[in-house]
Amino acid sequence: MNRIGMLSFHSCGCCRVSTSRAFHFQFRSSPPSALFLSATSYKFRSAVASIGSGFTGDSDFDGERKLNFSGVRLEEAVDSGIGSGKLRLDNWISSRISGISRARVQSSIKSGLVLVNGRVVDKASFNVKAGDQIRCTIAELQKLRAVPENIPLDIVYEDEHVLVINKPAHMVVHPAPGNTSGTLVNGILHHCNLPNVEFFKEEVLSDTEYSDDELNSYGSMASSCDESHSRLSMASIRPGIVHRLDKGTSGLLVVAKDEHSHLKLSEQFKQRTIKRVYVSLTAGVPTPVAGRVEVPVGRDLNNRLRMTAVTGPVNSRKARHAASRYKVIEILAGGSCSLVEWKLETGRTHQIRAHAKYLGVPLVGDEVYGGTKNMVLSLLRPRTPISLHGKIVQLVSRLGRPCLHALTLGFQHPHTGEQVHFSCEPPADFDEILSQLRRIGSERVSLSKRSNL
């Protein structure tokens, strides 16, 4: 039986895979170009980039500039067709340059390269109106490099189209400035026999409606050091990272190995048809023991490393709609902690962590949101014998991350159409704390006490 007692299936080893019908799984490595677009696709993207409406650029742009849009200029008046409604500046520019990502446009705006009626506007959220004269130059891309690294990957499932990985805690999904080594992308490059890649900093994270921790419009990458890929060296290519998990979060993550799979999986995230269940240990027991949290999440004005649930005016914090469903599975150590299952309706940055904090039950081990060892100890003291506190506090101190795990993942296979489902139990550090709390006391929460989720 599944160790944490949450799912009614028997699993073999750590991970379990199921499908709606019989499905033959093949575990094999992909060919060298599997994660990237074909050369034909690049030609198509180049054509789109060079003929998109609103372009006023030099006719002798080389291939790389056509594809990464650097230096492309746009001079145009906002059409009266927008009426009296509001339209964000970044959205309008994106609509006028075919194929460009919103992240590239936002980077250019923040760099002071966009003028509205002759004045620099550096806010992407600025509302344009009919008749406004817009001048925009697309900023140069800052390149970062990722190299293949022989990093062990816990591969739950692989075929020629998708890769499902059990990401360990403390591993970053993709390279970023100051952290270009030891990431999941580095390991995937090695696993799939891919060369070094250069990717563009501005497009690692896209601030679109669905490009947050749970969906990644992971931007442009360019092949850089393998002669067999030289014909693609100028091209912008999209790797298979479809969604992300925080560095401290362990669990299941799907990687697309071709453009069709990337597109289809991205669509499923946008349509909210991906089935994901997370499990956490919280400091305290939420009230009620099951429910739905629908509170916008925005950047904490006092700590830029932290998000916060915003209950008042949201515009000042650029908060975005966020909704989570939760239910308590077990009440642990006399109510000091609880095992909680989460289902996300949206996928905002730190959404579960921020919503747990909003409920007054931060995740155990989450120093940023208040789930410190001292808070856990303060909850244990009035409820349990002092002799039992030391071990748990020691384990929480050693944890160094929020106790959060992506437990299950289900989606429609992008090529076969099969509904596939994967599950993987929490890692040892999570399980060890759970076991210690259960030794003190455990109460299963009956279905009658929960809301209908």
Position 319 scores a pLDDT of 85
> What gap in Å lies between CA 43 and CA 48, rounded to an integer?
9
Q: Please answer whether residues 371 and 362 qualify as being in contact, where contact means their C-beta atoms are separated by less than 8 angstroms.
A: yes
Phi, psi of 451 (to 5 degrees): -70, 160
Which one of the listed residues 90, 212, 213, 246 is annotated catalytic?
246
pTM comes to 0.69
Instruction: Please report the sign of the dihedral spanned by the C-alpha atoms of residue 426, residue 403, residue 175, residue 231.
Output: positive
Q: Please answer whether residues 278 and 430 qualify as being in contact, where contact means their C-beta atoms are separated by less than 8 angstroms.
A: no
pLDDT winner (highest mean) among 64-73, 132-141, 357-366: 357-366
Position 211 scores a pLDDT of 35
Q: Please answer whether residues 299 and 318 qualify as being in contact, where contact means their C-beta atoms are separated by less than 8 angstroms.
A: yes
- Neighbouring residues of 284: CB distance < 8 A, sequence distance ≥ 6: 335, 336, 337, 338, 360, 361, 379
Position 201 scores a pLDDT of 57
The DSSP symbol for 279 reads E
In angstroms, what CA-CA distances link 159 with 23, 31, 188? Answer: 12, 11, 14
Instruction: Please report the sign of the dihedral spanned by the C-alpha atoms of residue 105, residue 110, residue 113, residue 118.
Output: positive
Name which residue leads in pLDDT, 113 or 205: 113
pLDDT above 90 (res 53)? no
pLDDT tens track for 183-232: 999 999 999 888 877 765 554 443 333 334 444 433 333 332 232 232 22
Position 183 scores a pLDDT of 92
Name which residue leads in pLDDT, 299 or 61: 299
Structure tokens at 419: 């509904």
pLDDT above 70 (res 169)? yes
Position 68 scores a pLDDT of 56
Phi, psi of 254 (to 5 degrees): -100, 140
Residue 246 known to be catalytic: yes
Q: Please answer whether residues 250 and 405 qualify as being in contact, where contact means their C-beta atoms are separated by less than 8 angstroms.
A: yes
Instruction: Please report the sign of the dihedral spanned by the C-alpha atoms of residue 286, residue 290, residue 296, residue 297.
Output: positive
In residues, how long is the chain? 453
Name which residue leads in pLDDT, 18 or 197: 197
Phi, psi of 106 (to 5 degrees): -60, -40
> What gap in Å lies between CA 254 and CA 157, rounded to an integer?
9
pLDDT tens track for 385-425: 888 888 999 999 999 999 999 999 999 999 999 999 999 99
| Domains delineated in the chain | 15-24+272-449 (3.30.2350.10), 39-137 (3.10.290.10), 143-264 (no CATH)
> What gap in Å lies between CA 435 and CA 281, rounded to an integer?
11
pLDDT tens track for 260-306: 898 899 999 989 999 999 999 999 999 999 999 999 998 888 887 89
User: Chain-wide mean pLDDT for the chain?
Assistant: 77
Position 6 scores a pLDDT of 39
Q: Please answer whether residues 89 and 112 qualify as being in contact, where contact means their C-beta atoms are separated by less than 8 angstroms.
A: no
- Neighbouring residues of 417: CB distance < 8 A, sequence distance ≥ 6: none
Q: Please answer whether residues 396 and 364 qualify as being in contact, where contact means their C-beta atoms are separated by less than 8 angstroms.
A: yes
> What gap in Å lies between CA 94 and CA 136, rounded to an integer?
11
Position 313 scores a pLDDT of 65
Average of pLDDT values for 103-109? Answer: 87
